[in-house]
């Protein structure tokens, strides 16, 4: 493996580099850019940093079911559950989705209930008004996702889960992280 540059977060560095050597021996080459201050610093402190880099791991900055987390992943959770639980697994079956299908409302309620459970675990002092507002936000976001999918399935000729032929509409959008 070649690591080009030093990621901003130690946890990213550990996550990426820990893939090597799991089942067989591995070797990692680190290529630093001498014009970048972070790269130079890690080069100069390479041995001591690697002897103790777990103490530099930052605490996670994402809260479960926070708005940014929902924007990144809620659609994937909902689409995956509908796809696999309601029998729309094949790539070309995305066009057969309807928000009125049997089981769709049950899956929506399952996600809402699970979201509320996690919200309460992380916000033990939240009163019922705050929990109800959170529930309303989750429900609304799930409805928007399902409405978009429903409309695409109704009005487009063909939609699929992942693009094989570029002329078709992809339902799940890739989210790219660059460090």
169-170 and 159-160 strand pairing: parallel
pLDDT at 24: 81
Sorted by sequence, the CB contacts under 8 Å of residue 141 that are 6+ apart come out as 70, 74
pLDDT at 68: 82
pLDDT at 168: 59
pLDDT at 42: 78
Spans of the chain, pLDDT less than 70: 53, 56-62, 163-179
């Amino acid at each position: 493996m070649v690591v080009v540059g030093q990621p901003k977060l130690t946890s990213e560095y550990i996550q990426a580099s820990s893939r090597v050597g799991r089942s067989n021996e591995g070797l990692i080459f680190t290529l630093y850019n001498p014009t970048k201050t972070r790269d130079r610093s890690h080069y100069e402190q390479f041995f001591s940093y690697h002897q103790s880099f777990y103490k530099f791991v930052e605490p996670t900055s994402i809260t479960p079911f926070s708005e940014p987390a929902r924007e990144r992943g809620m659609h994937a959770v909902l689409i995956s559950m509908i796809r696999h639980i309601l029998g729309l697994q094949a790539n070309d079956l995305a066009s057969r989705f309807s928000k009125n299908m049997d089981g769709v409302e049950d899956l929506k309620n399952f996600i809402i209930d699970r979201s509320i459970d996690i919200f309460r675990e992380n916000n033990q002092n939240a009163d019922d008004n705050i929990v109800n507002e959170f529930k309303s936000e989750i429900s609304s976001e799930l409805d928007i996702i399902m409405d978009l999918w429903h409309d695409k399935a109704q009005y487009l000729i063909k939609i699929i889960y992942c693009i094989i032929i570029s002329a078709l509409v992809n339902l799940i959008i890739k989210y790219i992280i660059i460090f």
